[in-house]
Structures are given as C-alpha cells and as structure tokens.
Amino acid sequence: MTQKIKFGTDGWRGVIAEDYTFDNVRRAAQGFASYMLSIGKQGQWIIVGHDMRFSSEHFAAAVAEVLAGNGLKVYLTDGATPTPVIAYAVVDKKAAGAVNITASHNPPTDNGFKVRDATGGAIDPEGLKQIEAGIPDSSADVKRKNYADAVAAGEIVKFDAATPYIEHLTRDGLIDLQPIKDAGLTVMVDTMWGNGAGWFPRLLAGGKTKIIEIHNERNPSFPEMKRPEPIQPNIDVGLQATIDNKADVLLITDGDADRCGIGDENGKFINQLRVFGLLAYYMLEIRGERGDIVKTLSTTGMLNKLGEIYGVPVHETGVGFKFVAPKMTETNALIGGEESGGFAFRGNVPERDGILAGLYILDLMVKTGKKPTELLKILFEKVGGEYFYDRVDSPFIGDPEARKKIIRDNYPQTLGGLKVTELVTVDGFQYKLEDGGWMLIRFSGTEPILRVYCETRHGDKVKAILADGLKVAGIE
C-alpha cells in the first residue's frame, strides 16, 4: 500500500527507513516540483539544504535530482546549514522557494521535509494542499535526472549560504555585533548536536566576550538528551555547564537552529513564552521600534499586554509558521513567534531564526547591563506581574475525530479552580480563564502526540489546570 505523505504543522516528518525512505522523499519532491511548475516557476532556482541527521545530505541530493528532472535548477548547500540561513538564501539568490531536509526537534529516529516559498517563509496551508495533491502514488512516476549529469549541466550547483547571511545581519541593520563582542560576557552555547554548531563563535570572535560550546559535533543519536528540542530535560547538561563555567547566559539552538532556548545566569531555564516576551520588550522598548506582533494562540498573553502598552496590534493565529509567516508578510510585522521557541523578525525573512534570537538576547543584556533574571523582573513589572506556563505531552495513536468528540462532550466549567470564560477553536480547543490565562488541547502536527498547554497568573494552579486538561481530553 502506498504511503500517504501529509504535511503537518511544519512539513512532512517520518521514521527513517519505515516511512521516511528515499522513494518517499523523491515522491514528496515531485509534489513540490509539480506545485512550483503549476505557479509558473519553470526553469527557476530552488534552494535545497539539510541538517545533521542520519543521511540528510543524501536525502537532499535525491531531492535535487528530482527538481532537476522537472526542469528546475538547484542551489544545494555545501554542508549542514541552519534553517534561517537556508531561508535567507532564497531571498539572496532570488530563488522560487526551498526544500529543507530536517526533522528539527524530533527524536533521532526521524527525518523531515520542509518547504518554503519565495519569501523564505513557510508555504501557506492552501499551497501545502496543492503540494500534497501533486505527490504521485508511485515512485515510478517521479521525474529524476542523474546527479552527476545535472551537476555537469549546471542544473545543480553547490554553494555557501553562510557568508551572505552573515553580511545580511550587519548590512541590513538587524544587529551590531561589536558591542556584544566588547561586552566581556561569558556565553554558554548548547547547539544540541545540530546546525547551530560554530555559529556564535564565528559571529562573536575577536572581542572580550567568551563563547563556550557544547554538543557541537555531528551525532545523529543526540546523546545526553531525548531529542534536540530546547526544553528540559534535553537541556539539563547545558544548564549545569552554565553553572560550572560561571556563564552569564545559556543560548540553546535546536537541531536545525530555527528555535532558541535560554538559560539564566543561575542555570535555570527561561521558558519560551517568557523569552518571547523579552524579545518583544527588547524590540519595542530598547530598540524603540513599532510594528505588529504575530503570535500563535499557544503563546503568551504578555504580548497582548505589551501591545496595549506600546500601541501596536497583536494578531493571533493557529499553531505553526505556516500561519505565522503569511500573517507577518501581510502586516509587515515587527516580530512573530510561537510557543515552541521559534521567533521571526522584521527586516529578516519571515522564518524562525534561533541565531538572530540568541543575538538579540545578548544585545538586550548588553544595552541594559542586566542579567537574565533581572530582565525578567523588568518584564513582569511592565506587564503587571508574573505569567506561569507549562505543557504536557501524551502519546496518541487513534482516531482524532473520536477524541475531539470526547473533548467537546467534556466541556469544563472550571480548570484548576479558575472559571472558564470562553472556548476558542482556531486550532484545537483553547479555554480562556478568568485570570486572563488559558488552557489549550491540540494534536501535534509533527508527531503522534496530544498536547495540553496552559498559561496562568497563578503559579500554584499550573499543575491542576494541566491535570484537568488531561481529564477533559479523556486521559487520566
């Protein structure tokens, strides 16, 4: 039976050698090629890049063969390359789009297939449906050109994506690196065995600031963590290294370096919602910029408060950059982001950028002279107090529609003792709470998992809200 290839929250992901096979990757590439041809991109260039997972470079080469076989030309990265760098290459090379072989934060068993449009941002849901519709049932219907022949014909060209991206950061006014280099900080960096390896040392070399990296080699089994996702317990080794090295901050990039995690000077994790709040505060207060904020419904209410304070619109979308990126492009947003730790910024491509987010956190520290714990206190004072967040994931294999009926039938009046004031069904089931917080139940778009999230102004109610959320979902 032919494997059905479905694009979820961010592309297609599967288990290597089970459903993520060379034949299926070629089928997915044929669907993307057919889509590109259908929107008039014949003969144009496509960027193809990859991460450090098992055989990623070989899967990327297979994609390049298929694109060449369909009359498209390919710029193929000359090594493992961060997702934001691949995204910028689309703009720099005036390409029609990109294919990126990466499973981002998934377990080591997995690999993935991300697609991007001419902006470097995620293709919208309608475009993804068209790509899926163009995926042939059989690999026999895939058009391919021999790799060596395509290279000889100039239809596949290896290139360096790093240099143009680095020039873009400084040339286009996104960040002045010199004050960070001169600050004399000790910065711990955990690259999670991924594409972020070597980037902060390269960008910040030549000054008083010291960069210490760990997990900065290729190892697709991801030792010392369950997966390259920048949350605990995966980052516990990095947090301890922050303490051991008396570092001022810990920067964490996930497997493909599009997401950013932060640890404070005491080796404590700062959750992604608080990081989003800090980055928005930095853009609005420290840099004095103005512009719309785009947030997924699974992230922090602090952004709504900041929007009110600084007089900027806040747009809420479904989960995933396939919703965030188009909205950022439409509104020329200042910042956009999601609960997973992916943040994008105006002046850059509408793509999550864990490298630039990390640089902005360092710049915030340098410009204010404050440590991460002090910055959080300032943020909480600005938005009127602390916000508390957590998430639980439950393995789910079954009929999502049957589970959704259970959830609809279990409508709660209270969660963790707080009254439910509204139900939002933009993406999953989000219950607004009387304290301005929320609880969300949704199915992961990248893995067979049901997630329950919450944010509340009451730190002592987080566990109770999540427990009640699991009950609503029929999970005891």
Q: What is the CATH number of the domain that holds 208?
A: 3.40.120.10
In a shared domain, residues 136 and 280: no
Of 353, 383, 413, which residue constitutes the final position of a domain? 383
For the stretch 158-163, contacts whose Cβ atoms lie closer than 8 Å and that sit 24 or more positions apart, written own/partner, are: 158/76, 158/77, 158/78, 159/75, 159/76, 159/77, 159/78, 159/89, 159/93, 160/77, 160/78, 161/47, 161/49, 161/77, 161/78, 161/81, 161/85, 161/86, 161/88, 161/89, 161/92, 162/81, 162/85
Q: How confident is the prediction for the chain on average, in pLDDT?
A: 96
Query: Confidence band (pLDDT; 50, 70, 90) for 399?
Result: confident
> According to the model, what pLDDT value does residue 1 have?
56
Q: Is the pLDDT of residue 473 over 90?
A: yes
Q: Classify residue 175: in a domain, yes or no.
A: no
In a shared domain, residues 137 and 218: no
Highest mean pLDDT among 96-100, 123-127, 444-448: 96-100
In a shared domain, residues 375 and 441: no
**Residue 48 φ/ψ, nearest 5 degrees:** -125, 125
In a shared domain, residues 300 and 332: yes
What CATH number did the domain enclosing 413 receive? 3.30.310.50
- Averaged pLDDT for residues 7-22: 91
Over the stretch 88-117, which tens digit does the pLDDT of each residue have?
Answer: 999 999 999 999 999 999 999 999 999 999
In a shared domain, residues 428 and 356: no
CA–CA distance, 117 with 124 (Å, rounded to integer): 9
In a shared domain, residues 330 and 393: no
Q: Is the pLDDT of residue 84 over 70?
A: yes
Number of domains in the chain: 3
**Residue 447 φ/ψ, nearest 5 degrees:** -145, 160
Q: Classify residue 37: in a domain, yes or no.
A: yes
> According to the model, what pLDDT value does residue 400 have?
86
Q: Which H helix or E strand runs over 343?
A: strand 343-345
Q: Is the pLDDT of residue 190 over 80?
A: yes
- Averaged pLDDT for residues 418-440: 96
**Residue 320 φ/ψ, nearest 5 degrees:** 120, 150
In a shared domain, residues 252 and 330: yes
> According to the model, what pLDDT value does residue 398 have?
82
**Residue 101 φ/ψ, nearest 5 degrees:** -85, 100
Q: b/e for 431-453, b at 16 or more Cβ within 10 A? A: bbbebbbbbbbbbebbbeebbbb
Note down the domain range covering 425: 388-472
Q: Classify residue 230: in a domain, yes or no.
A: yes
SS3 of residue 94 by DSSP: coil
In a shared domain, residues 262 and 193: yes
- Averaged pLDDT for residues 395-419: 92
> According to the model, what pLDDT value does residue 51 have?
98
In a shared domain, residues 19 and 58: yes
Over the stretch 36-63, which tens digit does the pLDDT of each residue have?
Answer: 999 999 999 999 999 999 999 999 999 9
More confident residue, 446 or 347: 347
What stretches of 117-242 adopt beta strand conformation (E)?
A: 156-159, 186-190, 210-214
CA–CA distance, 178 with 200 (Å, rounded to integer): 13
**Residue 456 φ/ψ, nearest 5 degrees:** -150, 160
In a shared domain, residues 82 and 229: no
> According to the model, what pLDDT value does residue 302 have?
97
Of 162, 196, 211, which residue constitutes the final position of a domain? 162
> According to the model, what pLDDT value does residue 446 have?
75
More confident residue, 443 or 200: 200
In a shared domain, residues 258 and 295: yes
In a shared domain, residues 268 and 392: no
Q: Classify residue 55: in a domain, yes or no.
A: yes
Task: Name the β-bridge partners of 110.
Answer: 15
- Averaged pLDDT for residues 259-275: 97
Q: In angstroms, how far is CA 13 from the centroid of its own chain? A: 14
Q: Classify residue 178: in a domain, yes or no.
A: no
